[in-house]
A and B are shown apart, each in its own frame.
Chain A
Amino acid sequence: MHRAQTSITDVSIEWPSVQDVFQTMTFQAGYNTSVVLAGTTLLGVAAGIVGAFALLRKRALMGDALSHATLPGIAMAFIVATLFGVAGKSLLILLPGAAITGVLAIVATQFIIRQTRLSEDTAIGVSLSVFFGAGVVLLSYVQNMSSGDQAGLATFIYGQTAAMNVRDVFLMGTIALIAIIAAVALLKEFALVCFDEDFAAVQGWPVTFIDLVMMTLVVLVTVVGLQAVGLILVVAMLIIPPAAARFWTERLGRMTIIAGIIGGASGYIGASASALLPRLPAGSVIVLAAGVVFFLSLTFAPRRGVVANLSRAARLRLKIAQDHMLLEILHKDLQHSEATEGASVSIGSIRKRRSWSLIEATLIAYSLQRRGLLRKSGNAVSLTEEGQDAATRVARTRRLWEQYLVQYADVAPSHVDWSADLVEHVLSPEMVTRLERSLERAKRPAAPVAEGAA
């Protein structure tokens, strides 16, 4: 072994020029590259759209069993074709074989789920591994066959865009296009079955048939994607783009479109990267590109993203802390002198009661100051006029809630303050008015009713 050559720095990557990148990505780098690029992009769009339904139907991992199970079909189709003296490597022969064993695996999985005590995940794992194992056995047989034409079969496992010829890509593109059109045309039916299967059945929709069409689209996309992405990773194209799209919207139509865009973009990036740089398998790049989009969505999506969630939680915590500080100052105020508005209180004394750190207390005070509720002079703070109002409002809400809990919810008075502390911040103004009225009514004696009757 050449030790010197095993160092990472010794293997230089030839970076493509800017012009190469531009040409490839604008479909000007030769006919073949362009066709592959277009086909993979189309495949990505189709997988994203079809995957959206599979995801909502909670069938994400069923696709995993399906795609692994295409291997024995591919090998079998090759063997049979060779036995009949046909050139076995045509996609028109291999893909139907792949589809057959793929569907068989799904049937087997469903059978195990329905007929035995094994759970769904076990059923999927079993058919995935056993079918793939059978595929490995057949493949090892094929590799020793005397036909000599079998070299490319293993590329279906990891996928290889370079191994595709233009005819293959046209086939792939056409089927992807059909899947896209079918999915768009049947959007309403799919939505019904995804969200409320029973309702759809009651309304007289042919649920089983719609389900079958959906599954057929999944099978088509999987089988067609094998050559570009490889059978282990093709399921990722069905799962990741819709899962990422889900972060951005609550509407099925939009989710489907976004999933299609993410899928298409991943396919485009994967195919061009693989064309530009050596040793970049398109399948992996496609999945990693989709993965990057997924993690960006997970982190930064406006409503469901992690950052949005964290900042929402932080804002709520700040609001609660602000309310607490207002209450504390108000209490001190009342203790000192009821008349003099705006008596100053030291931050230190508030801190002690709430066990805030100095930084926390200062930050909360600063935020209140920004809202114009607090005046600060040296180490002491006092409420402004608006601050006084706000604090009174908070105190009033809290009292109301305490009273409501004691009178209506049968809470022991000694436990009230604790729960009131939590809920007062989420109480809406309307709720407060209603509470107020109901409490007023409860306080009043029965007299008004008699009056009304009289």
Chain B
Amino acid sequence: MSPGLTEFMSLDFPALLAVVLASVSCGLLGNFLVLRRMSLMGDAIAHAVLPGLVLAFLVTAAFGYPEHARDPLLMMGGAALSGIVTVVLVELIQRLGKVEKGAAMGVAFSVMFALGVLLLEQAAARQVDLDADCVLYGQLESVMWLPTDPTASYFSWSGIAEMPRQVSTLAFIAFAVIIFTTLFYKELRIAAFDPGLGKTLGFRPQVMHYALMIFVAAAAVAAFEAVGSILVIALLICPAATARLLTDRYFTQIGLTVIIAIIASVGGYMLGTRGPLWIGLDQSVNAAGMVTVTLGGLLAMAIFFSPSHGIIARSMRRFRLSVSVAREDLLGLLYRLEEHGAPGMPRRQVAAAVGPWLAAQVASRRASQRGEVNSRNGLVELTAKGRTIAQSLIRSHRLWESYLVDVLGLRPDHVHDTAMRLEHVRDAQTGSRLMPRVEATIDPHDRPIPSNGPSAPAPTANDDAKSDGHA
């Protein structure tokens, strides 16, 4: 085995495995926290497991079994206990004291954490090797796989049995979490979306709630030693939040969460350990922190670029809508000008006339691309195709105006702006329902309501000075 590979297998591989296992378990659990709007419960529990953990240490040390101080089961027990205590505490404060949920959570977790820090200081004095900083940001760098016989045994059973304790604990928890979410797929789903329904169907969402909290506490403990509690919080919330921006489906949400968590943990680890060297710095930075930052980066990308819920996609949709509204407004305007006998509209005025500048520019270009308007001698005018569309628009506009005046009883000089917005609603169903209610052929401003068919004559350059600018 080459020295490079040996180094990778003994240093990077176990650390990577630890992060990936942590991200799978926390990511899966995080889904239900985010969906149930309990993200901060994950935060609170991750902070609050500290006293349980330290107590488990202190108790084993006090009974003279320091070699068992890091027994995973004991740690899990202590952590699950203080996790549950925190959850119950939050609920008690909220219910008995009528304190707002956020504040109740703040009180409970900060008191628990303060207790933990205090106990930690006492433990430090008793040579219990537990570091306050390590609790927060882990010691990924100290997760090492050093089999007794390195030449042959990375891929043998004896070698695997010598995996670092943190990794095997995490593997156990990840396995348990996967079993839990698979077995209770349906129950968790109903508890996440409609606990009330779950209760009436006999699913006991409260039991699911506590089970979830115990698992979060256990995952937090399993992960804290390798990756630290801050990364646990990030892994609980960020991947699920990112997936939430990418999909509306429950199953896809869960799948995406796991994928995002794994990508971020591998990518973040690489960035943390190798990244600084790439940009010419001579030392690596904290890998767990870098995974958190990567998670944040992925979430930021989803916030902006998600095809369904991203900011850019949404503003594109809005822009397209405003372009199509501006295009229709332009056609309508030209139609009205024709009614007054104007030959067309000077090209330069078009943008100012129909809405925001950019949307109007794009709209006028699109209208001429579609052959709805023609530009001649600097004047924009309707083509036959454009006129048909404009006619149906104006018809819709004036029908709406008549409807607003005749049926809803609004004053004639108050309906134009509303009709401007409603005229774009021109589907057949609305039209056929609107029609029988309005029996007019002339709108409230004495303008003719064009008929539906294409057979209608192009409006003649007609009459009088009736134009009040509202027609």
Interface residues of A (CB under 8 A from B): 1-3, 5-8, 10-11, 55, 58, 60-61, 64, 112, 115-119, 121-122, 124-126, 128-130, 132-141, 144, 154, 157-158, 232-233, 235-236, 239-240, 243, 246-247, 279-281, 283-288, 291, 294, 298, 304, 306, 309
Contact = CB atoms under 8 A, between A and B. Distances in A.
A267 to B, nearest CB: 14
B30 to A, nearest CB: 9
Given A232-B113, A279-B122, A284-B118, A133 B244 contact: no
A300 B61 CA distance: 37
A124 B93 contact: no
Where chain B touches its partner, the secondary structure class is helix
A288 to B, nearest CB: 5
B102 A154 contact: no
The 8 closest A-B pairs by CB, nearest first: A133-B292, A130-B296, A136-B289, A236-B110, A140-B286, A129-B234, A287-B114, A291-B111
Contact of B97 (A58, A139, A304): A304
Interface stretch (B16-24, B37-45, B167-175, B365-373): B37-45
Contacts of B236: 125
A135 B296 CA distance: 13
A134 B97 contact: no
Given A122-B37, A287-B110, A134 B289 contact: yes
Contact of A284 (B37, B105, B114): B114
A279 B283 contact: no
A121 B40 contact: yes
Interface in B111-155: 111, 113-115, 117-118, 121-122, 124-128, 132-133, 136-137
A121 B121 contact: no
A237 B236 CA distance: 26
A125 B292 contact: no
Given A136-B286, A279-B122, A288-B114, A243 B292 contact: no
B255 interface: no
B102 A8 contact: no
28 contacts: A7-B64, A10-B126, A55-B100, A61-B106, A116-B245, A117-B244, A121-B37, A122-B241, A124-B39, A126-B234, A129-B233, A133-B290, A133-B291, A135-B289, A232-B136, A233-B110, A233-B113, A239-B103, A239-B106, A243-B97, A243-B106, A279-B124, A281-B117, A284-B114, A288-B111, A288-B114, A294-B111, A304-B98
Given A117-B245, A287-B111, A5 B127 contact: yes
A243 B234 CA distance: 28
B53 interface: no
B292 A129 contact: yes
B11 interface: no
Contacts of A304: 97-98
A55 B103 contact: yes
A279 B125 contact: yes
Interface residues of B, number: 72
Given A136-B288, A136-B292, A6 B125 contact: no
Given A125-B42, A232-B47, A154 B110 contact: no
Contacts of B136: 136, 157, 232
Where chain A touches its partner, the secondary structure class is helix
B120 to A, nearest CB: 9
Contacts of B43: 64, 125, 128-129
Q: B64, B126, B231, B285: which has the most chain A beta carbons within 10 Å?
A: B285
Given A11-B126, A309-B96, 11 more contacts: A6-B61, A55-B100, A60-B106, A115-B311, A118-B245, A122-B37, A125-B40, A137-B289, A154-B133, A279-B121, A288-B111
A247 B39 contact: no
A122 B103 contact: no
A235 B137 CA distance: 20
Given A115-B303, A136-B230, A304-B97, A122 B34 contact: yes
Contacts of B107: 236, 239-240, 243, 291, 294
A285 B111 CA distance: 10
B198 interface: no
Contacts of B299: 126, 130
Contacts of B295: 129-130, 133
A284 B34 CA distance: 30
B40 A133 contact: no
Contacts of B105: 61
B245 A6 contact: no
